Structure 1
Amino acid sequence: MPPMLQITPTLAIPDQELEERFVRASGPGGQNVNKVSTAVELRFDVARSPSLPEAVRERLLARRDRRITDDGVLVLSAQRFRTQDRNREDARERLAAVITAALAAPKKRVATKPTKGSKERRLGAKRERSTVKRHRSASGWERE
């Protein structure tokens, strides 16, 4: 059995679908940051992945997420830790979290009507505001 990223007991992504690139991390770190490529750039082709169910794929691609390219590739970069292995695990965990979030279908919104009390409160507030503004005008002084 090939190595896989297990999302749920029924959903797993084979490592062949994940593309990892190791790059130098930015930020503080002294000499180490200039010498060692510890940051990980994980790429996962959401649009062409045979492992993802169609509904999950559509939800992922519909998200307004800047990490998803125009081609439907999800790009995650991890550089929190000082070692390649920890950053690699971090990127894979974050990918699993993104996919898990897309697994659950959003609930349909049930339209409700405003209550009688809320309508009265809204109209009362409008009337109050109206009188405040009417009293501010120059002609408002003469009326009283």
Structure 2
Amino acid sequence: MQHVCKRFICNKVEPALESARKWVEQLDIRKVPINLFATRFDRASGPGGQNVNKLNSKCTLTLYNFSNCSWLPEGVRVQLLQKSRYYAQSSNSVVIQASESRSRETNKQLALEKFVNHIKEVCWFPRPTGDTTLAKWEQIKRNSHEKRLNNKKMHSYRKKLRKSKDFF
């Protein structure tokens, strides 16, 4: 119970985390610097007839040296390093692929969109706790303390009853 209370009673959020949360909220596909990504086009699998065998339309975007990427805030980078399914630890890079379309440019835009949506899904930042929630948890804390003291008193009372009394 104490662990939960401590987690919810934090009323201050670090400024770096707050700025990272705002950065994620404002993140848009147009704000992603495409020049940081290495772009590669390969042959896609799936439907498309002979067009699949002739054209390289699958887009693979790779962001090398991801752990030192200055474009992403530190809080976002740390969470992506831990939780991202696109992060390749062996090469310290993020690899995103898209092959839904027959067009190279469309697949490139889809890969960027996939990356932005993944950042928004994975990253979570705590918000300051409201006054009503703080009051609620303080009340819960007080009630549990009172209940514990009452249980101790009852236990003590039962033990006193067990002691032998001189009736004669």
Shift of 1:68: 1.2
Shift of 1:104: 2.8
What is the root-mean-square deviation of aligned Cα atoms in Å?
2.6
1:7–1:13 CA contact under 8 A, matched in 2: no
Cα distance, 1:35–1:106 mapped onto 2, change above 3 Å:
farther
Q: Where does structure 1 lack aligned partners over 5 or more consecutive residues?
A: 1-5, 113-144
Query: Match of 2:61?
Result: 42
More relative contact order in 1 or in 2 (CA 8 Å, sep 6+)?
Answer: 2
Letter in 2 for 1:74: V
Give % identity. Answer: 30
* Distance in 2 separating the partners of 1:76 and 1:35: 22
Cα distance, 1:15–1:29 mapped onto 2, change above 3 Å:
same
Shift of 1:106: 6.0
Once the two structures are superposed, residues 86-118 of structure 1 have per-residue CA deviations (whole angstroms, 9 ceiling, x without a partner) of 1111101001111223443268xxxx9xxxxxx
Cα distance, 1:8–1:60 mapped onto 2, change above 3 Å:
same
TM-score by length of 1: 0.61
Once the two structures are superposed, residues 19-73 of structure 1 have per-residue CA deviations (whole angstroms, 9 ceiling, x without a partner) of 11011101221110011001100112331211111110000001162x2111331
Letter in 2 for 1:100: K
Give the SS at the match of 2:111. Answer: helix
Query: Match of 1:16?
Result: 35
Query: Match of 2:80?
Result: 60
Q: Select the structure that is richer in helix.
A: 2
Q: Which has the larger radius of gyration?
A: 2
TM-score by length of 2: 0.53
Q: Where does structure 2 lack aligned partners over 5 or more consecutive residues?
A: 1-22, 128-139, 141-168
